Structure 1
Amino acid sequence: MGKRIFYFLLTNVLVLVTISIILSLFGAWNYIDYGTGRIDPVALLIFSAVIGFTGSFISLAISRWMAKRMMGVRVINPDGPMSADEKFVVEKVHRLSRAAGLMHMPEVGIYDAKEVNAFATGPTKKRSLVAVSSGLLHEMDDDAIEGVIAHEVAHIANGDMVTMTLLQGVVNTFVVFLARVAAFAVSRFTREELAPIVHFLAIIVFQILFSILGSLVVFAYSRHREYHADRGGADLAGKDKMRHALERLKAYSNRVKENEQTAVATLKINGKRKSNIFSTHPDIDERIQRLS
């Protein structure tokens, strides 16, 4: 899930900045009362909400496409010839999706990567994607793979991408609002002829800065949803398989840290032993304990 969140946030920031630049250049929304030299807070709030939610929903709409392109996901045709690994993954995803009550089967894909990784994404339950890395298939046994896939299917069944989008829209609204208030304040301390340029550049800088701070809220929500996905995965695949998957992931992450001191990506487990405010996932020991 962490990779999904990373690409969603990256896309969101890029879309947000692009929309803001276009609207600012064309003066599409006037929230500054030049007669009094003050900001109209109501007009600015409406402006911020329009940009904020537009940015988050555009990011959601292209999330599946973005994940495929950036990760090089090879989508498997369930009706065509498949290798043993492909058939195994497709059968697991479809069986668990039916168990989760999904009316439409997610697209299933594999991408080449040594890391042990899996993620689910997509704008709706009808247009979702579950992708696993080749490293996951090579490193994990069948029960652990099933637990990982069940966790990702649970994210889809729980509608986590949609709720994440709504939360991101609210965060974006505050980001846009505060960035423009701060930029307006800065521009007031510059010469009149330079004020428009300073205001425009300050908007971009503050928007990126506040987007980074706002992502902490999204990360906190992501950590909260991981526990729900673990419970959902346990319901779908069985608690023993879900716990086994987490334990195998913990063992793998410890081995990687000892050998390479790098972060592990499956279920987006951090290389660090304990999660922090920048983690998309909680500490794996805590996840195992809560699942038990």
Structure 2
Amino acid sequence: MAWENQTFNSGFILLGILNHSPTHTFLFFLVLAIFSVAFMGNSIMVLLIYLDTQLHTPMYFLLSQLSLMDLMLICTTIPKMAFNYLSGSKSISTAGCATQIFFYVSVLGSKCFLLAVMAYDRYIAICHPLRYTNLMRPKICGLMIALSWILGSTDGIIDAVATFSFSYCGSREISHFFCEFPSIPILSCNDTSIFEKVLFICCIVMLVFPIAIIIAYAQVILAVIHMGSGEGRRIAFMTCSSHLMVVGMYDAAALFMYIWPTSDHSPTQDKMVSVFYTILTPMLNSFIYSLRNKEVTRAFMKILGKGKSGERVTS
């Protein structure tokens, strides 16, 4: 009962990263603009891949899952931050905090494995093209995606439950704009050393293992270099370079946050990196995979053309 009174009834205070100075007000509206672009860009990617039958291939199915994960990530953190900023409130309930932890950890973990699956997809497509249809048939592709979601969600459940298995009898001020779970156990009046070790092991599994799989791109790059067709080499290189850009941005930020010793970076640096991978990366992903992809552009123009034709008919 004491734990319920201290934790569930009190909740936490999110100190945030912005105040109401003119500069920070401008930054707040800039974040909202980035959120809007990321929301629209990823929503359009999901809809285009769903509506256009020519995009019903394993590669684009994986891209639609990446866009869906990015949508979930920005919707888990930004709306609450915006509400607190506009209302002047900094509180978040324990249930709300646990929900944030579950969803954003689940999405981050699922993205790690999904990026590895995407690397495997490109490796098979370029290095073993004759076996691609068999190795990446819809059933296998769907199974790998489902496994990515299951592993990520399992990590989310473990982290959320473990975080709130401690009692919090002191300050409940979280020096962040959302419930970043490594920032919460340090507020506990219990010994959290075992939790920190388990957290480190989970991070190793969720980050280092997928990165080891992505090293297969070394073979992909070699295969691309030795391609005879100039056009085929260009298309393969653009596809692989887009994926490597996403992997580099995402994994570098995640490694900094969860593997690099916390003593080597300040809370301010943590917040800036969190802004990068929870706000900027979801926006950049949609641009990287849409603006550099002729098939996505073609599908968009096709849908847009149908919409204009429909307007002319009704008028």
Give the structure with the larger helix fraction.
Answer: 2
> Given the two structures, how large is their TM-score scaled by the length of structure 2?
0.28
**Structure with greater proportional strand content:** 1
Q: Which has the higher contact order (CA 8 A, sep 6+)?
A: 2
TM-score, scaled relative to structure 1: 0.29
